[in-house]
Amino acid sequence: PKQRHLLFSLLGHQDVVRDLSFAPNGSLILVSASRDRTLRVWDLSRDETSAPRQDLRAAGRG
């Protein structure tokens, strides 16, 4: 069986992560969308993967 290794541990969402998407330009920018109504933008090319590059919160209900 193929052995797998954890590459990154991205912390910060307060609920389940519902979606992940890499930037279409091939960079190591990753956006995570959570049930806690936040989007977090991560730059995986940096060593500081424990802190998002940007944190966006949805307003209102939905």
**Of residues 43 and 19, which shows the higher confidence score?**
19
In which order are the strands placed within the sheet that holds 54-57?
Answer: 17-22, 29-34, 38-43, 54-57
The yes-or-no verdict on residue 17 having pLDDT over 80 is: yes
Specify the pLDDT at position 13.
85
Any idea which residue has 């933008």 for tokens? 41
β-bridge mates for residue 22, sequence order: 30
The yes-or-no verdict on residue 9 having pLDDT over 60 is: yes
DSSP string for the chain: -------------SS-EEEEEE-TTSSSEEEEEETTSEEEEEETTSS-TTS-SEEEE--S--
